[in-house]
Structures are given as C-alpha cells and as structure tokens.
Structure 1
Amino acid sequence: MTAPTTTAAGGTAAGRVLALAATEVRLILRNKTVAVSSLVLPLGLGVLWAFQFGGVDDPARHAVSITLQLAVALAMGVYLTATQTLVARRHSGVLKRMRTSGLSDRGLIVATLAPSVVLGVVQLVVFAVVNVGIGAPSPNDPLPLVLAVMGGLALVVTAALATSIVTPSPERAQITTLPLMFVMLGVGVVAAIAPGEGWWPALSVMPGGAIGDLAQLAMTGGSWAAGTAGMPAIVPPLAALVAWPLVLGAVALRRFRWDPRR
C-alpha cells in the first residue's frame, strides 16, 4: 500500500490527484471481489435488463429498464465501491498518511473516490450503447435523464462519505451499504411504474424514487406539466436529488474520520 504515497510525492496538485486516482483504479481492478461486485455484476444485470425490456416500442416500459440500469450502476458501481475503497484506505492507515503528502484533504478525497465515479459512468455509457443497439426508443426529453445521472452521482458519492463513518472495516461495507442499495433499486422501479395520483408521488422524496420519476419523465415527456401541488412534474424529484446530497454531505463534513475505526 506504499504506491499511493510514492505516487503523490511530486508534481503539481492536479498531477498528484490524477496519479493517485490512477493508482486507485489499478488497486480496484486487482481486487477480484471488488472488481466483480463493482464491474462484472452491475454490467451483467444492466445488459440483462436491457434485453428483457427490449423489443417493445413502449417508452414507459423502457423507463423501468433505464431506472434499473441507473440504480445498479450508481448503487453497486459507485456507492459500494467508493465506500469500500474509502474504508479500506482508512483502515490500513493510508488515508491518514496521505494527508502529509502535500495533497489537500479535498484533493485526497477526490482522488480516492474519482475512480469509482469513472467506472460507474463507463457502465452507464455501455448501457446506453446496448439500449441503442437493441432498438430502445430515444428519450422524449433528455434533460430529466441527464439530471438523474448528475444528481444520482452526487447522491452516491456523499452517501459513500457518510456511510464510511459507520463502517469499521472494508468487509462491513457489504452490510452498511445494503439499505440504500435496496431503496434505490426497489423504490426506483416502483416510482417508474406507479401512477401519478394518490400517495404514489410521495416516493419522489426517496433517492431511488426520484431517479425513477426522472427516468419516466425522460422517456414519456411531461416534465413541465402540472404535477403535485400544481408544480411542474420535474420539480419534486429534482428537489429530492438536490436535498439528499446536501444532507449527506453535511453529515460527512461534520463526522468524517481519518483515523481507522477499532
């Protein structure tokens, strides 16, 4: 684990961040367990769902597939991997030692988490290519889909920082990340297929629900039509995707620990 310390010793601040991030990518790919859980499994599930929902020219049906793909890439490809990486570096003492390397705390966190984000984005690109290849309909309004990706990434990155606070070891990350992963997958799918009446719109306040709503709006349109309380339909899920990272980021900022938990 001396490679990150050595790599970050020289060069500009941006160069040290990139060098450390590149080292983190290699460490992630060398760990077979992490590579399978963060790359192989999400990719396999996302492609399976693409074919399962393919062949039908129904935008609402494909919104469910897109929601599942977003949720699995964000939850497993980014959130789980980022939490495991952060906790592993802290547990081994590398994270604390790196604070003396000349990197700022912010730069160190960015370098540690950026590889997980890049791997997640790569998965989303693969899913998009597969969806186009099987003839899935194009989004009626791409803006909600872009916002779902950006808001989802902010959500899972801040969630990884917050979850690391209560995760004593890399092995325990498999457990502490389960609640949010289940919420993003389960609630996201329900929100993507739920009617817009009754209490169903309340699912928008949940992380996965907001992603499902935005995916549905992207595929079927109606983002600016009147929704809950007369607001444009895009406002509640977008507000939820802004609020959750702010809350989780505030928790992480106040309670994040650099020292290993015993």
Structure 2
Amino acid sequence: MAVAASGPIVLVGAGNMGGAMLAGWLKSGVEGSSVLVIDPGPSPAMAKLIADNGVRHETGAPDGLKAGVLFLAVKPQVIDTVLPPLKGLVGSDTVVVSVAAGKTLANLSAHLGEAAMVRAMPNTPAMVGRGVTGAYANAAVSPRQRDFVHALLKVSGPVEWVGGETDIDSVTALSGSGPAYVFYLVECMAEAGRKLGLPADLAMRLARETVSGAGELLHQSPDDASRLRQNVTSPGGTTAAALSILMAADGMQPLFDRALAAARQRAEELAG
C-alpha cells in the first residue's frame, strides 16, 4: 500500500471478518511484520496464516505499544469487555477503526478516550473479496489517516464514505444486512419453483445460480440495474407477467421500504 501508518496495524479479533481483512491486507502487500493480531484463540487456519506471514500474535494487549491503526473486529456483544485493556494502545497518532455493528464512536470513546476514529460497516461478501463498506470518520481523522484506512478497507471491495455517523445505521440496513435479503430471495425463488413442480434440489440450484449469475452480470456491466431489468423483459412475455406482480403497488418496493426501516430502527436501538 502506498500510504503508511505511523505505527503497527493492530487487529483485534481474527474471526470471520477480521480474518478476511487480514488475508486481504497481506495479499495487497502489507508486510506481516507490520501487523499485530490480538485474539485469545484464532482458528487453526488463521493461526497458520499468522505464522506463515510473520504476523505477530498476542492473546492480550502488550505494554508499551502505540498502534498506528487499532482495527476492532469483535462482536458488539463483547466490545465493552474487550475495549478497556486496549486503551494503552491508543496514542496521539492512532486511528481507531471499528466494524462492530451498533457501537457508536461515543461508545468507543468512553473506553478508549478521545481519538481519531472511523466507524465502518462492511458486509459478509468481504470474506470472498466482494464486499462493500460504508464508513464515517470523525473530525480528528487526518487526510493521511483516512487514506490509509480507505486502503485497508478496500481490500474487501468498494468503500463508500458517508457524511454523518447516523448514516451508518442506514448503511447497516441496506448493505450490512443486505446479503441476508438476497439469500432469502434465493430461498423464496426455490420454494416457488418447488411449488410449480420442480424437485426441491433442482429448484434451489436454479435459484442459486440465477441470483449469483445476475449479480456477476450487474458487477461487470456498465448498465444500471433498471436497464438490465428492461433488457430481460420482453413486452407481454413471461418476465413482464412476473414483474407485474413484483412491481405492483403492494409488491417488492413497499416491502423493502418497511424492511429497511425496521433494520435501521433496530440499529438505532442497539446504538442506544
């Protein structure tokens, strides 16, 4: 990476998300020796990745170290327990990055003190390098720190910066939780196919490949989603018949409006 941190990258938590980030950093050229992983019990695969790349591993925060980036990849349910011992890692040049859903910068500051902080919301496709991340930086984050955090986050996919911290709740509702909506769409399509008489396993394979293939087409095509939809839809054809149901006044749009509003409300409740 072209932009350097002022100290080591300290990754707290090497589970699914943290491990995916670490693998991406190493693949993008980050030197293993510049990373410290703090995790009491990494998986065998993660322990091997750490050892093979010369990444330092500790079960707790070492004394006398100031992080360049303190990257928090722990579950929000345990973050209030995890954070207090980490306060000593935060120096004047440290930027704290949290991917813990529902934990505000005020929550983090209560444990770590005032610092440059970024709140980020990646999603699970980050584990295969196809995620998208929404991020918000507080006023203490310098342009250099923001550039470096952007470089760290983009190893798992595009990064979109938002102007206000409360926007992260909307990002959570849309893209953070969004993969679950797509997976449920596959379930619904497969079940509808089964009800039309297809064997359940065949219906699931067809639904799964249809959604993943459509997603890849959307990824590669310069056209927007509405144009791609129109390209599939012949006037008076089968797709038009189905879309007349899905795009009706009581169809998918109002359903998604309610679903995302519920997700955002829950994110706000979790944030306190």
TM-based fold match above 0.5: no
Structure (1/2) with the larger strand percentage: 2
Structure (1/2) with the larger helix percentage: 1
* TM-score (normalised: structure 2): 0.29
* TM-score (normalised: structure 1): 0.30
